[in-house]
Structure formats: structure tokens, C-alpha cells
Amino acid sequence: MSQAFVEIRHAQKSYGQLEVLKDISLNVDRGQIVAIIGPSGSGKSTLLRAINDLDPLTGGEIWLDGVQVNKALPHRQYEKHINQMRQEIGMVFQHFNLFPHLTVRENVTMAPKLLKKISDKEANALAEEQLDHVGMLERIDYYPAQLSGGQKQRVAIARALAMKPKLMLFDEATSALDPELVEEVNLVMKKLAQEHMTMIIVTHEMDFAASVCDRVLFMDQGVVVEEGPPEQVFKNPTQERTRNFLRKHLEGAK
């Protein structure tokens, strides 16, 4: 059986009686960029957070590059396995979650130094390279509190990239930003797209999704209602629920 780079098979998640993900399957090829859109409470963030097991599924499988992420293993072995898998899955959060007690440089180098046992010199070179990539090199010795929201998010992206992940997850990376700061983060994400980074992006920004993504998933109430290339989902949605959502969203944007 040929396997996609990222495979979500029959993902299911419930909190007691409440089922937030109902049998979701999704394949993403290497280098593909997939956007997940949908109203709040649709389960899109839960699905994204299930991919690196931050919110473990109650059923179904996640596969990355031929390895099952949420493998059933005894506790200790599972911890080792998931820590290894997470090194290959970068994640960017809505609220950045930079480490406030570390400088920008230390934010980027902490995990590689600790987990890959690289030298200080290598770590510094890595930090400079990654921060240059997101245009934050001149702030390398600042603390997060001294940065704007957009700058923080760019550093957070550099921090994730420093682990050389195979896959990047973005959980509403620009939702907490002032409108004028959104563009600088979008530009960095576009740059990653051009470099063929595989990305799964939960977003509220339809324009960005339309311009960058290969595929768009519309989720509502724990199911994928519609999926396809952006021009189809945005211009000619086949489902009533998608049309409603997009209409409301456009009204909201005005």
C-alpha cells in the first residue's frame, strides 16, 4: 500500500459524551500545504493538536513518513517515542508561547542543544541561520517581552524550524496579531511554502489560505464538510454549510 507523507486515519475524539472529531481521514503529500478552516468549535484545532499528540485521539491513527505517531506502547516507551516524533513535527501557536525567561537566541537553541547535543558554536550558527531566515537576526539577544507580536511569532517559527521538522503545524498563527502585523508572519509562511515545507495550517484568513495552500478543508461539528483546491472551496463550494460559513465570514471581514 502506498502511503501519503502524513496520514490521518479515522481520527475520532470525544470528551465523555461530546464527540469533537468524528471519523476524520486526511492525506497530505510531502511538500503540500493544507489549510483547515471552519467555525470555532468545529474541531479544527483539536485535529491539528492530535497530529503531534498534544490532544490525544480516542480513536484512529496518525502517520508521518511511514511511522505511526500515536502508536500503542507502554507508557515509558511511548514517552520516548512521542518525544522523538515531536522533534519532527514543528508547531506554531496562536499565542506564540515563546519562553519569556530566555533570549531570542536561547529560545531557538534550547531544544537542539538539549535533544541533539550540538555544541554551543553549532547552536549559535543554527540560531543565526534560522533567525536570519525569518528576518529576526538583529533581535537575537532581545527577550520576547521586547518584541512585537509579529516579531514574536517569527521567532516562534524559527524556534520550531531549528529542530529541522518534516512537518509544520500552524494553529491560528496570526489570529492574536494586530492587523498590521499579520503580513510579516504571512510572508514567512509563504517563504516556507516556496521551500516546499509540508504544512498544515488552521486559519481564519481565507485570502491567505487561497493564495498559499494546495488544498482547503472546511470542518464543522467534528466532520470534514468539504475539501478541495482553494479555488473550488472558496469560489464554488458544493455544500450549503460551506457557503453559509464563507458568507458570514465575508460579512465579518467588512
Q: Smallest distance, Å, CB 95 to another protein?
A: 6
Residue 83 found at the interface with another protein (CB under 8 A)? yes
At closest approach, how far in Å is the CB of 211 from another protein?
A: 27
Q: Say whether residue 30 binds another protein (CB under 8 A).
A: no
Q: Are 102 and 156 a contacting pair, CB within 8 Å?
A: no
Cell readout for 218 is: 472546511
Strands (E), the chain: 6-15, 18-28, 33-37, 59-64, 67-68, 89-92, 167-171, 198-202, 215-220, 223-228
Residues 119-158 that bind another protein (CB under 8 A): 143, 145-146, 156
Task: Compute the least distance from the CB of residue 98 to another protein, in Å.
Answer: 8
- Cα separations in angstroms, 124 against 131, 139, 145, 179: 10, 14, 21, 32
Question: Which of 180, 197, 211, 221 shows the shortest CA–CA distance to 39?
Answer: 221
Least Cα distance to 35 among 207, 202, 231 occurs for 202
Determine if 77 is a binding residue for another protein (CB under 8 A).
Answer: no
Does position 78 interact with another protein (CB under 8 A)? The reply is no
Shortest separation between residue 89's beta carbon and another protein, angstroms: 7
Closest CB to another protein among 101 and 196? 101
C-alpha atoms less than 13 angstroms from C-alpha of 85 in its C-beta half-sphere: 22
Taking CB under 8 A as the binding criterion, the range among 66-74, 107-115, 125-133, 177-185 that sits at the site for another protein is 107-115
Among 4, 110, 137, 176, binds another protein (CB under 8 A): 110
Residue 97 grid cell: 508561547
| Strand order across the 167-171 sheet | 89-92, 167-171, 198-202, 33-37, 215-220, 223-228
Give the nearer residue to another protein in terms of CB position, either 93 or 245.
Answer: 93
Q: Which of 28, 37, 98, 104 binds another protein (CB under 8 A)?
A: 98
Asked if 118 touches another protein (CB under 8 A), the answer is no
Closer CB to another protein, 111 or 223, in the complex: 111
The DSSP H or E segment spanning 125 is helix 120-133
Q: State which of residues 13, 44, 86, 139 lies at the interface with another protein (CB under 8 A).
A: 86
How far are the Cα atoms of 16, 22, 203 from residue 82, in angstroms, in the given order? Answer: 25, 24, 26
Within 6-25, the residues that bind another protein by CB under 8 A are none
Regarding 163 and contact with another protein (CB under 8 A), the answer is yes
Is 159 among the residues that bind another protein (CB under 8 A)?
Answer: yes
Binding site residues, another protein, CB under 8 A: 52, 54, 79, 83-84, 86-87, 89-91, 93, 95, 97-101, 110-111, 114-115, 143, 145-146, 156, 159-160, 163
